[in-house]
């Protein structure tokens, strides 16, 4: 005999069965935890991601940054402009390729990195989950990201 629980568990259209719903809610909630940690640095979460990429490699072209961040250049450009307005980066035409826009950390932007290690530590503390579980989750999400890239490349 089938129960309501069996019907629910087998309902492929149940909200809680949707990968997209779980990812969307988790992303929104986790990003919300970043806000108070980034506020003292004067950064939004998207700006923080740009700064992370630039702390790894500066200067970077706008196109290169967009690729690393999985953003369209048109989406990234306003973020970079706001970071330039607060003095964390500069934008200039690349001397090697006049068509490319180079984004470079300023001294102030580079110095901001000294405050950044508190952010991941703060997230781990706020989530209250073992670091190993968070690392496993991150690694599984990278698998999902690669799968979606392959699906898009194959016309999916």
Q: Rounded to an integer, what distance in angstroms lies between the CA atom of residue 26 and that of residue 29?
A: 5
Q: Cα 112 from chain centroid?
A: 18
> Which position has the token pair 């307005």?
85
Q: Where are the domains of the chain?
A: 18-116
Residue 119 banded pLDDT, cuts 50, 70, 90: very high
pTM summary value: 0.88
Whether the Cβ atoms of residue 103 and residue 62 lie closer than 8 Å to each other = yes
Look over the chain and give the mean of its residue pLDDT values, rounded to a whole number: 92
Mean pLDDT of 115-127: 96
Residues present in the chain in total:
156
Give CA angle at 36 (35, 38), nearest 5°. Answer: 65
Class level of CATH domain 18-116: mainly alpha
pLDDT in tens, 98-111: 777 899 999 999 99
C-alpha closest to that of 38 among 49, 29, 24: 49
Q: For residue range 45-83, list pLDDT tens digits in order.
A: 999 999 999 999 999 999 999 999 999 999 999 999 999
Instruction: Compute the distance between CA of residue 22 and CA of residue 70 in angstroms, rounded to an integer.
Output: 20
Average pLDDT score over residue span 105-119:
97
């Amino acid at each position: 005999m089938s129960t309501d629980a069996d019907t629910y568990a087998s309902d492929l259209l149940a909200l809680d069965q949707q990968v997209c719903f779980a990812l969307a809610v988790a992303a929104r909630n986790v990003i919300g935890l970043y806000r108070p940690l980034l506020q003292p640095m004067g950064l939004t979460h998207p700006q923080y991601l740009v700064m992370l990429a630039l702390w790894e490699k500066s200067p970077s072209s706008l196109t290169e940054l967009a690729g690393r961040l999985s953003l369209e250049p048109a989406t990234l450009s306003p973020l970079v402009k706001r970071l330039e307005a607060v003095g964390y980066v500069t934008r200039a035409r690349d001397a090697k390729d006049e068509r490319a826009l180079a984004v470079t950390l300023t001294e102030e932007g580079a110095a901001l990195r000294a405050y950044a290690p508190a952010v991941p530590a703060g997230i781990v503390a706020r989530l209250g989950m073992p670091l190993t579980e968070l690392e496993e989750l991150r690694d599984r999400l990278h698998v999902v990201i690669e799968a979606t890239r392959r699906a898009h490349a194959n016309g999916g």
